[in-house]
């Protein structure tokens, strides 16, 4: 499915979702078909979310590209992902930060955690964790970048605490299940944050102590 992957990347470049060579190379390298359920394999390179089980989805490729661009990831960075899902987004980030980087990714649903851990086993810079992602991962903090792949009612305080000064946090926030705002939060000092609204998105709810409680 290499040709389909190349066409998807070319389309994302043409639509200006992919702006940098590092994001382009990462998305060219990661086989999205390996991360979706077998029954959706033939749809892997359509630019749309796909179900991955447990009521969860894999984000559309354009959203993965956009989030990677906005985060301005660099080689060697230490990154926290909240919401591993199938592991595709983590794989793209791992390609960008390189083997000298480190990605901690948290998944609360055990079946998805186990599946993602297997899918990501060849990425030595990735640690997959089964826990409540709304609490972050204190033991490896602070992080250069934090991003969340599910929508929260507010920005979880533990994530703001665990972000380095000068770091960036990207998270969908909103009270409607089907429409939220994608917020980019920059930490200017320990107690001072700058927030930019990047527009409307639609993500599954972020469940946990500092998220939604269903």
Active-site positions? Answer: 59
Q: List the beta bridge partners of residue 183.
A: 171, 197
Most distant CA atoms of the chain, gap in Å? 48
Torsion of CA 184, 187, 188, 189, to 10 degrees: 160
Structure tokens at 168: 């960036």
Q: Tell me, letter by letter, the H, E, C secondary structure of 51-62.
A: EEECCEEECCHH
Distances (CA, A) of 7 to 13, 27, 47, 63, 125: 10, 11, 11, 16, 28
């Amino acid at each position: 499915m290499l040709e389909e992957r190349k066409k998807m990347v070319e389309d994302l470049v043409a639509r200006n979702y992919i702006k940098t060579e590092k994001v382009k190379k990462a998305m060219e390298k990661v086989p999205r078909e390996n991360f979706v359920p077998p029954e959706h394999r033939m749809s892997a390179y359509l630019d749309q979310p796909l179900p991955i089980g447990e009521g969860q989805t894999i984000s559309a490729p354009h959203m993965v590209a956009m989030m990677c661009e906005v985060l301005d990831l660099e080689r060697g960075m230490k990154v926290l992902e909240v919401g591993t899902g199938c592991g595709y987004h983590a794989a793209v980030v791992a390609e960008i930060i390189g083997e000298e980087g480190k990605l901690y990714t948290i998944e609360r649903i055990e079946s998805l955690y186990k599946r993602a851990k297997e899918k990501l086993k060849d990425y030595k810079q990735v640690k997959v964790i089964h826990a409540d992602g709304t609490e972050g991962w204190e033991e490896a903090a602070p992080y250069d970048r934090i991003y969340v792949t599910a929508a929260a009612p507010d920005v979880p305080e533990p994530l703001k605490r665990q972000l380095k000064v000068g770091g960036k946090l990207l998270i969908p926030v909103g009270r409607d299940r089907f429409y939220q705002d994608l917020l980019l939060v920059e930490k200017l000092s320990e107690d001072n944050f700058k927030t930019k609204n990047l527009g409307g998105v639609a993500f599954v709810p972020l469940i946990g102590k500092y998220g939604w409680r269903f």
